[in-house]
Amino acid sequence: MKYITGFVFVLFLGLASTAQQKDAAADSVSRLISGYMKKGNWNDVYELSDSTFRKAISKTVFIQSFVSLQQTAFGNFRDIRFARKEKETYVYKIYFDEYSGKMILHLNAADKVDGFAIRPYNEPGLDQTIQTSNSLTNPFDHKLDSLVRDYIKTNYAVGISIAVFKNNQPFYYGYGETQKGNQLIPTKQSLFEIGSISKTFTAWLLAQQVLKGTISLDSSINYYLPDSVAAMQYKGKAITVTHLSNHTSGIPSLPLNFKTVPGYTDQNPYAGYTQNMLFSYLKTYKPFAEPGKKFQYSNMAVGILGNILELKTGKPYEQLVRQNIAEPLKMNYTALSEKKYISLGKLNTSCYNGAGDTAHRWTFQAMKAAGCLYTNAEDLVLYAKAILQPGTSDLYKALEICFKPTFTVNAQQKIGLGWFILNQNAEEYLMHSGGTGGYRSVLLINRKKQTAVIVLSNVANDVTNLGLQIMQQISHE
């Protein structure tokens, strides 16, 4: 569920080679690479490369790049599996804890690596055959279609649901299938996990409590947590409620006891992590960074915030979302019970990891506020309209609190409560992306131009750049 503006898949420097490479050599090298990556040994991976590769990329850059990707996006390496051969290049499906894609391998005549990359997985030719509900009746429809098909050329895709709000009306586009082989194009009502976009709902719930005066953004979080929780402060500076919502608390993305849950599985990692486990961890937790000084994306921090909201209101997270956001906005498919979602039948979608293999839907306990929600394009248009065309009630007054910048991440990006405020190409966007084991999503809003873009995918390959491209196309009209 990390917020990532776009994976940087670097270091593919494969040079043309006329020598015939043996499949056995590639198999041997791939096995060596797999063994080294399991140990986190990028140094020995680099040592498999040839002199041309090393002249282009230094060992330091190579190692630092991949170590950084593992720490921020990939997680621990799990496995690689041969997928196909494209001329003299070998393509493997590659699996990490939090990312699945493809590894590209090219060998020179001496069986040394002269081409290596980790990128999103794609099936060749799929962009030409994927079905769509796009009627292609105007220039914008054609441009959107081109952008989607360009995305599919480099990213494995099964089903994509897109909503565009412009000229005060919504337009919906479906691509692919809700499940491999079922020939059902996603509609505006097809349901997707939205992962970390849930954090924007959490922020709105928080702002409502702030407006009521029951929670203070500047208060120490210890004020709202059980007495058994250790002092959440670093050198006397308290972690505040704002720090939880804007990712400057210094709290890591996940607690150290996260994978100690009996029956833990990477396929559904949050399912067994309870509130008792979270509070037990916080009893001995010692902050190791000054809050408010550095942006560090944290699912755990927002998970703690969700528990504060539940403790303060006495209501479970989904009920809070349902009663305080979804029902007032008439979002009929958001924050429903699992039983209700199952009953919706054909509105449900199957999901797949970044390599196109069947994935497991995620369920949550203590970390609900960080990414548990399902919804669809139709409901998210209503959500976007509330932001673009707010009313005058306290519901909307609370919403405005979310958009006040609370921290500057960099020259292009600030963060309010839960929302990223992105400055790009002289435009300002409110945005958040989301991802789970088998879904990716992005929501972009331009309040000045009264436009919004929603992209939902049932494959775990990032769609943020696709959403930005569609939004930029609207701006050029």
Q: What's phi and psi for 247, nearest 5 deg?
A: 65, 35
pLDDT, position 13: 41
DSSP for 394-456 reads HHHHHHHHHTS--EEEETTEEE-SS-EEEEETTEEEEEEEEE-SS-EEEEEEETTTTEEEEEE
pLDDT band (50, 70, 90) for residue 12: very low
CA distances (Å), 315 to each of 309, 311, 324, 346, 367, in order?
A: 8, 7, 11, 30, 15
pLDDT, position 72: 72
Round to whole Å and give the CA distance between 202 and 304: 11
Round to whole Å and give the CA distance between 189 and 380: 10
In the predicted structure, residue 457 carries a pLDDT above the cut 60: yes
Residue 138, token pair as written in the block: 């105007």
Q: Which of 165, 209, 200, 208 is nearest to 393 (CA)?
A: 208
Round to whole Å and give the CA distance between 299 and 207: 19
Q: Which residue has the higher pLDDT, 17 or 431?
A: 431
**Those residues with Cβ within 8 angstroms of residue 183's Cβ, 6 or more apart along the chain or in another chain:** 131, 177
* Mean pLDDT on 318-324: 98
Q: Which of 132, 183, 122 is nearest to 162 (CA)?
A: 132
In the predicted structure, residue 140 carries a pLDDT above the cut 60: yes
Round to whole Å and give the CA distance between 100 and 460: 8
pLDDT digits (tens, 9 = 90+) for 242-288: 999 999 999 999 999 999 988 899 899 999 999 999 999 999 999 99
Round to whole Å and give the CA distance between 177 and 356: 13
In the predicted structure, residue 470 carries a pLDDT above the cut 70: yes
Please name the residue that has the structure tokens 């290049």.
89
The DSSP 8-state label assigned to residue 143 in this structure reads H
**N-terminal to C-terminal alpha carbon distance within the chain:** 33
Ordered by where they begin, the domains of the chain are: 23-119 (3.10.450.590), 192-476 (3.40.710.10)
What percentage of residues in the chain have a pLDDT greater than 90? Answer: 82
What percentage of residues in the chain have a pLDDT greater than 70? Answer: 94
Q: Find out whether 419 and 430 touch, Cβ atoms under 8 Å.
A: yes
Q: What's phi and psi for 389, nearest 5 deg?
A: -130, 65
| H-only helix segments in 241-298 | 241-245, 275-283
DSSP for 159-186 reads EEEEEEEETTEEEEEEEE-SSTTS----
pLDDT, position 21: 52
pLDDT digits (tens, 9 = 90+) for 212-252: 999 999 999 999 999 999 999 999 999 999 999 999 999 99
Rg (CA), the chain: 23
CA angle in degrees (0–180, nearest 5) for 144-458-169:
40
